Structure 1
Amino acid sequence: MKDGVVMDPVVLEEAQQLLSPASWTRGVADPRTVVAAERTGSSWENRYLSKEHRRAGATFQGKVYNFLERPSGWKCFVYHFTVFMVVLVCLIFSVLSTIDEYSGFANETLFWMEICLVVFFGVEYMIRLWSAGCRSKYMGTFGRFRFVRKPICIIDLIVVVASIVVLSIGSNGQVFATSAIRGIRFLQILRMLHVDRQGGTWRLLGSVVFIHRQELITTLYIGFLGLIFSSYFVYLAEKDAVSKDGKSRNDFSSYADALWWGVITVTTIGYGDAVPQTWIGKIVASCFSVFAISFFALPAGILGSGFALKVQQKQRQKHFNRQIPAAAMLIQCLWRCYAADKCFNSQATWDIYIKEPGHPKDNSSLSKVSLIMQVAKRASVLKRKRSKSKMDTSGGSTTNNNRDSLQAQTLPPP
């Protein structure tokens, strides 16, 4: 593990073999040149790294922005979970304030909780607006205005303004005293959206629906047709129905009542306010229930399997993203080894600039070193040629001796 990246064992083994002392004898560059190449690569990365990324990660403003907008780590989890629990408790007290038995205690407690939440969310909104300046697209007045136009920021502003209106109009601690103020309570429920500021839940749902849109449209279309026709047939069978005591029933007096019965039936709610009385109506209702309920239940299974596949795809993508840095490190290391090797004459890459050991201004020493390397190289070539010529001469003499011995053996004695 390096810098929080889990390396594949196969990739790690190849990198270790590439940098092992045994590989240096096979023509790979000296380890000192590899270290120098790594230093060169790190300096290149530091030089050309995005200024926005460095500013957002290093400055205090960037840290605050990442803490609020891009939470990661246990500290961010504790903060956002605490905010969620406070909002949930406030919602519970809002529900209790509508019950006569607990309205007195709940209204008084809710009044002070609303004051604390208004101050907290107002300050947090201003901090978010200030910290957004660490990003280039949110700098300046127009950048801040672009940040305010985000949907989640608009919701935060609406919640703060609605809470201020509720607190300013309420009297004697009765926050939801009038019916007009009770209507604004719905805007305060939008605080629950404060938890998922990045919108990952909605993006996941939208992606699943978009991927399986064809299957969903098909099942809903067939189910809708079954609902319309079956409700109409039940209406025709039950509109003139008469009960056992001779009185007419008005459960299916109109086609709208039949549609209401069909919707309640296919959703498996079954209030029981409308029930078919005739045998024809019961047969149609039975066939409709078996047919339509199966089609209306298919979207739940499609969405469930889609969510499972999407989560599996995200996990696979995370695994690939963990392997990308390791593969990039291996490729960079191999390129540096080839580029730093003087015996490598390929034109597929360029030569890496590495300072030779010694004084950089001492040109005479560098020329001497290069001259010695050339002499040693020529000496090795001459040595190989001489050894090859000796082997040829020795091989020729042995063949001549063998030929003379064979001729002596074949000649008859005098």
Structure 2
Amino acid sequence: MQPKLTLKQKVYYIFEGGHEQFKNITKKFDTFMMLLIFMNVVAFTVETVDFVHKSMGVFFFWFENISITIFTLEYLIRLWCITENEKYKHPIKGRLRFMITPIALIDLVAFLPAYLPFLFPTLRADFRVVRAFRLFRLFRLLKLWRYSASIRLLVKIIITKKEDLQVIFFTIFLLLVVAASLMFMIEKEHQPEKFSSIPQTMWWAVSTLTTVGYGDVYPITSLGKALGAFIALLGIGLFALPAGIISAGFMQEIDHNSKTEIVEQNTTSIKNAFYTSPFKIGEMSATRRLIDVVSLKSRLELSEEDIFDAIKNEELRIRYKKNAREDRFANTYVIEHFECNREYGSYINRDTNITIVSPMSYAEHSIGHFTSHLAKYIKADYISNEMYGEASDLNSEYAFSFTFNDAFRHSHEEGIPIAFTHFKEDLSSVIQSDETVFIIKASDESEPEHFNLHFGGQKDEKNFSIAKNTFKDIPKLKLFYQELKQVFSVAPYNYKFAMHKYYDNTHPNSLHQYIARSTDADVATIYINADLIEWTDNKTYFQIIKALGDTIRKVFHYRSDEEAQTLVKEDIAYTKSQENNI
């Protein structure tokens, strides 16, 4: 289960949004704040009417004080909970960085000037100062930037088109200077009082270029009139350009938002398709392992472009499923769905004594699905790397191994993704010294063994008494191995088993050794044949998850050390009969 939200987290999500649980509350809060800002502006303007001010002065006084109190509390509460944002996580430096952001400065200016006359009583005596402070109330309009999506959209468009707008405004300024200079030279001798200098003539240039034409200053010479007409015609087209650029930006954003909405709908449809699986693990519902692109195109009536746009979502990925046998379906693209609540993938703390770790859910087909359902079935803690492949991955942004890396041994930060740091932090947080950890990976499908158990030994060490054993509770480990073989070595499975085969498990740079070293928990790695995970039919696949989960629960969830030792003694005959196979 996911950890419960703290009060600070709840307040943060209400104020800043971003959490589905508080979506309606956030919307109501934003609406209230926009209404309050609008009423403040109305009150500011109406208050300037003398008879209204005289008859409703007390109302305006209390309304202003209540508004200042609300704006102040809002600012302080935001300052308190902003540390929930990763950018401002530090309790002091983070808050200081937040305070100098444009939106925070606007919030501050919206109420701070109201306190200055109280802090500096001498300012109250100067009525001009008091009126100047009242003008700051207009800055509350800028707070709409925080609450209004339309205003944020306008600001976004201006920022996006700033280079185009800069060129236009520079051209306008250049034209203003040229027009004012020419008109100054033409009209100075005939109207020295109105065209006495270029800066004074700029007023005429502005009113003409904007086609306002106040009529207070105008040329009287023929050449001046011709120039004025030419400048006026230029102004009609030139001042329309910024509006055209912003309008084009609006259309692009509207088109983009429309496409984004369609993509989100398609993404939701594809995700929902994974939950229509008829299979169960015991009484637990299961999701589909994968869905091939052809089925999505036909069943959901989506184009290939729709599907590829939808899988850019962080909880969907596409794989090329290569046919290696004649009895399997043809090569095709398939979609996988996974849960993601961390930069690296999935973290679920169910507060149990067993943790399932899947470090290669991105690199290996279906292993993420297998391990997530196994952890859910046995109610184990779960950590899965769903985003990063091995160091040789074609996507350089996500080419970083979570299974073997010298970053497990050294604390250097250069070249280390922040996601990997959080991965290690989550491992340390969820795994306690008295717990059991299973790292589950897929082995090469060419290997004849279906299950390969590792617990700290060197390659081909075939006994439980090894020098660097990472599993302290040897009786339980023996029992677990025996139970696995009893379940899976007979019909209908007839699977083969191995111990420390093909892989060395002792290197300090490995995830296995890192967990054992940093948590002191019992750690075992189970390699499951990739052919079994990827190509087994659905019925058998889910039966395997259930049988493996039942075995783990039987040995580790419900057995004490004494009971495990007793069962080992009772099963000594079976152990001896199987020694040759170990």
Q: TM-score, normalised by structure 1?
A: 0.59
* Counterpart amino acid of residue 313 in structure 1: H
2:42 paired with 1:92: yes
Q: Given the superposition, is the C-alpha separation of residues 113 and 169 from structure 1 closer, same or farther in structure 2, using an over 3 Å criterion?
A: farther
The amino acid that maps onto 2:11 is: V
2:31 is the alignment partner of 1:81: yes
**What is the SS of the residue equivalent to 2:491?**
helix
Q: Indicate the SS of the match to 1:85.
A: helix
Query: Match for residue 13 of structure 2?
Result: 66
Larger radius of gyration: 1
* Residue 224 of structure 2 corresponds to residue 281 of structure 1: yes
Asked if 2 retains the 8 angstrom alpha-carbon contact of 1:152 and 1:197, the reply is yes
CA positional deviation for 1:264:
0.6
Deviations 1:262-320 (A, max 9, x none): 11111122111012222222122112211233123212112211221122113323332
What is residue 151 of structure 1 aligned with on the other side? 102
The answer to whether the 8 Å contact 2:488/2:495 transfers is no
Structure 1 residues 154 and 213 mapped into 2: Cα distance closer, same or farther (>3 Å)?
closer
Counting strand residues as a fraction of each chain, which structure ranks higher? 2
> What residue number does 2:508 align with?
none
The answer to whether the aligner puts 1:192 opposite 2:141 as a matched pair is yes
RMSD: 4.3
Q: Is 1:112 equivalent to 2:62 in the alignment? A: yes
Check conservation: 2:30, 2:147, Cα contact below 8 A. no
In structure 2, C-alpha distance between the alignment counterparts of 1:260 and 1:371, rounded to whole Å:
91
**Which of 144, 154, 163 is 2:114 aligned to?**
163
Q: CA deviation at 1:334?
A: 4.8
Give, as a single letter, the amino acid of the residue that structure 2 aligns with 1:114: E
- 1:344 is displaced (CA, Å) by 6.5
Q: CA 1:77–1:229 in structure 2 vs 1: closer, same or farther (change >3 Å)?
A: same
**1:230 equivalent in alignment to 2:352:** no
| Contact 2:180/2:205 (8 A) holds in 1 | yes
Give the secondary-structure state (helix, strand or coil) at the position aligned to 1:250: coil
Q: Is the 8 A contact 1:69 1:197 kept in 2?
A: no
Change (3 A) 1:217 1:114: closer
Contact 1:111 1:167 in 2 (8 A): no
> How far, CA to CA, are the matches of 2:172 and 2:100 in structure 1?
40
Within 1, Cα distance between the matches of 2:192 and 2:30? 57
How far apart in 2 are the matches of 1:177 and 1:105? Answer: 24
- Which residue of 1 is the match for residue 132 of structure 2? 183
Between Structure 1 and Structure 2, the one with more helix by share is 1
Contact 2:47 2:53 in 1 (8 A): yes
Task: Find the residue that maps to 1:276 and give its secondary structure.
Answer: coil
Which residue identity is paired with 1:117? S
Given that residues 211 and 235 in structure 2 are in contact (C-alpha distance below 8 angstroms), is that contact kept between their aligned partners in structure 1?
Answer: no
Partner residue of 2:433? none
Tell me, yes or no, if structure 1 residue 309 matches structure 2 residue 252.
yes
- For 1:369, the equivalent position in structure 2 comes to 491
Distance between the aligned counterparts of 1:334 and 1:365, measured in 2?
23
Instruction: Verify the 8 A CA contact 1:238 1:278 in the aligned structure 2.
Output: yes
Pairing 1:102–2:52 present: yes
The whole-number CA distance in structure 2 between the counterparts of 1:362 and 1:236 is 100
Counterpart contact for 1:239–1:252, Cα < 8 Å: yes
Q: CA deviation at 1:64?
A: 1.9
Counterpart residue type for residue 157 of structure 1: L
Counterpart residue identity of residue 61, structure 1: K
Q: 1:126 aligns with which of 54, 76, 81?
A: 76
Judged with a 3 Å threshold, the aligned counterparts in structure 2 of structure 1 residues 189 and 106 are, in CA distance, closer, same or farther, namely farther
Size of the alignment, in residue pairs?
307
8 Å contact from structure 1 (residues 114, 163) kept in 2: no
Contact 1:118 1:164 in 2 (8 A): no
Residues 5-29 of structure 1 deviation map (CA, whole Å, 9 limit, x = unaligned): xxxxxxxxxxxxxxxxxxxxxxxxx
SS in 2 for 1:101: helix
The answer as to whether partners of 1:235 and 1:255 remain within 8 angstroms in 2 is: yes
- Alignment of 1:252 with 2:195, yes or no, is yes
- Offset from partner CA, 1:37-91 (integer Å, 9 cap, x none): xxxxxxxxx6xxxxxxx66x84443222111122774443333222322332233
Contact 1:133 1:140 in 2 (8 A): yes
Q: Out of 257, 280, 288, which is 1:333 matched to?
A: 288
1:138 aligns with 2:89: yes
Q: Which amino acid aligns with 1:369?
A: A
Does the alignment pair 1:295 with 2:246?
A: no
C-alpha separation in 2, matches of 1:127 and 1:314: 32
Q: Report if the CA contact (8 A) 1:147-1:153 is conserved.
A: yes
Q: Is the 8 A contact 1:107 1:176 kept in 2?
A: no
Unaligned runs of 5+ in 1: 1-45, 47-53, 242-247, 375-414
- The gaps in structure 2 that reach 5 residues or longer are 275-286, 293-320, 332-362, 375-481, 497-582
Per the TM alignment, residue 132 of structure 1 is displaced from its structure 2 partner at its CA by 3.1
Q: Contact 1:69 / 1:198 at 8 angstroms: preserved in 2?
A: no
1:216 aligns with 2:171: no
1:77 alignment partner, SS class? helix
Identity of aligned residues (%): 22
In 2, the alpha carbon distance for the partners of 1:188 and 1:369 equals: 80
Alpha-carbon spacing, 1:60–1:368, altered in 2? closer, same or farther (3 Å)? same
- Of structures 1 and 2, the one scoring higher in RCO (CA 8 A, sep 6+) is 1
Shift of 1:365: 5.9
Q: What amino acid is the match of 2:242? A: P
* CA distance 1:289–1:228, shift in 2 (3 Å): same
How far the C-alpha of 1:324 sits from its partner, in A, is: 3.8
Deviation, 1:373, is: 11
CA-to-partner distance for each residue in 1:315-346, whole Å, 9 max, x for gaps?
Answer: 3233324434555677983549989xx98799
